Amino acid sequence: MPTQKITGNKRYVIDTNALVALVDHRDKWHTTAKAIFSKLDNLEFVPIYFDCVMNESFSILGRRAEEQKRLQDVPSMFSDLTAFAPKQEMTWVSKETERLYDDIVKLVNLDFAQISQISCFVFGDFSFLSPKNAKCEVKIRTNR
């Protein structure tokens, strides 16, 4: 059966699971994710990256590396993640995350060999929930 040429709007949204599988070479879906992204690229589809997906991807990759005792892999995974979804191509859900993005990337690129647990990363402007009580807290415990 011949392949149909895809016409019209050729954009797709990247979900966290697919992005994590793409950059984590030990993910069971890594090979499949690479093949799918390659095919989409060959068909000239344009990816849409959301800041909230990047946020979740950083968090999952960091937690996974810590749980699997492979913190040495974090710098390369984070580097691959930011290279695959560059800031200038991001679709920003949160203007505050956009403003702080460079600082956020520096934060998550800490020396992960020294970090024993990342409780969570929460980025964004949630003031609409309760403007007087809006608060964002990041807790990092180190082995030091």
Q: What is the mean pLDDT of each run of 10 residues along the chain (144 residues)?
A: 52 93 96 94 92 90 90 89 92 90 79 45 45 43 44
Domain presence at residue 1: no
Domain span at residue 117 reads: 11-142
Please state the domain count of the chain. Answer: 1
CA distance 15 to 131: 29
Domain presence at residue 2: no
Domain presence at residue 3: no
CA distance 130 to 102: 26
Domain presence at residue 67: yes
pLDDT score recorded for residue 117: 41
pLDDT score recorded for residue 28: 96
CA 127 to chain centre: 23
Domain presence at residue 19: yes
Residues in the chain: 144
Backbone angles phi, psi at 76, to 5 degrees: -70, -35
* Whole-structure pTM value: 0.71
DSSP code string of 75-133: HHHHHHHHHHS-GGGEEPS-HHHHHHHHHHHHHHTS-GGGEEEE-----S--TTT-TTT
Domain presence at residue 134: yes
pLDDT score recorded for residue 110: 66
Domain presence at residue 130: yes
Domain presence at residue 4: no
